[in-house]
Amino acid sequence: MIASPGGVAEWPKALVLKTSEGRPSESSNLSPSAISMQSSPPGVSYDCYRRIMMFCLNVHGDPASSQSVHSALQFAKATVASGHEIYRVFFYHDGVRIADCNQVPPQDESNLLQQWIEFAEEHSLELTVCIAAALKRGVLNEDERARYERVAANVYPAFSVVGLGQQIEAAISCDRTITFPG
């Protein structure tokens, strides 16, 4: 039986899973009354049924002067731990600087780049940086280095350098788009 609150009709790719056993959301400290609930069908409690969702993340902030790269990572980790999926992480504006492999964080600060890379490898996450925003900020992969005849490529290989179309395509393909602005 498939049941879902809020009407499956709104969710064209609806995949409703019964997850009463080992429900990943049990790690949440939200009490059911703490968040506004969609009305549930009679006799069906919202938490009995969960649907796996696809999220995409836009990350806009400079890793050195904003928290957004950090928060986005914490959110991405919680997303995977909750059983949902990350379709793509798109770094735009100053967010593209996270891909610069020349970052040397002080020993007493966390290495955000390293954390993103490890997390992405572990979960086969697609990390992308916007090519136009990256070029402007001196974040170049080998192709762009050669194209513009610059001295050195500095994009960590875990990141693909892509066009803005990837940002829009991800938003179209996902259930939710979440932006961490700078």
- Enumerate residues 47-76 that contact another protein by CB under 8 A: 51, 53, 55, 58, 60, 66-68, 71, 74-75
Work out whether 167 is an interface residue with another protein (CB under 8 A).
Answer: yes
Q: Of 14, 77, 85, 126, which one interacts with another protein (CB under 8 A)?
A: 77
Q: Are 178 and 56 in contact (CB under 8 A)?
A: yes
Q: Are 148 and 135 in contact (CB under 8 A)?
A: yes
Q: Classify each residue of 112-144 as buried b or exposed e, where b means 16 or more C-beta atoms within 10 Å of its C-beta.
A: bbeebbebbeeeebbbbbbbebbbebebbbeeb
Q: Which amino acid is it at 146?
A: A
- Enumerate residues 136-165 that contact another protein by CB under 8 A: 136, 146-149, 163-165
Q: Are 126 and 170 in contact (CB under 8 A)?
A: no
Work out whether 2 is an interface residue with another protein (CB under 8 A).
Answer: no
Work out whether 168 is an interface residue with another protein (CB under 8 A).
Answer: yes
47 three-class SS: helix
Q: Among this protein's residues, is 48 annotated catalytic?
A: no
170/157 Cα distance (integer angstroms):
21
CA atoms in the 13 A half-sphere facing the CB of 71: 16
Q: Which of 48, 56, 130, 174 is catalytic?
A: 130
Work out whether 180 is an interface residue with another protein (CB under 8 A).
Answer: yes
Work out whether 128 is an interface residue with another protein (CB under 8 A).
Answer: no
Q: Please, what is the Cα angle at 158 between 116 and 143, to 5 degrees? A: 140
Least Å distance, CB 125 to another protein, is: 15
Work out whether 19 is an interface residue with another protein (CB under 8 A).
Answer: no
Q: Of 18, 123, 150, 176, which one interacts with another protein (CB under 8 A)?
A: 176
**Catalytic positions, please?**
130
Which residues would be at the binding site for another protein (CB under 8 A)?
6, 10, 25, 27-30, 34-38, 51, 53, 55, 58, 60, 66-68, 71, 74-75, 77-79, 81-82, 84, 92-93, 132-133, 136, 146-149, 163-165, 167-169, 171-172, 175-182
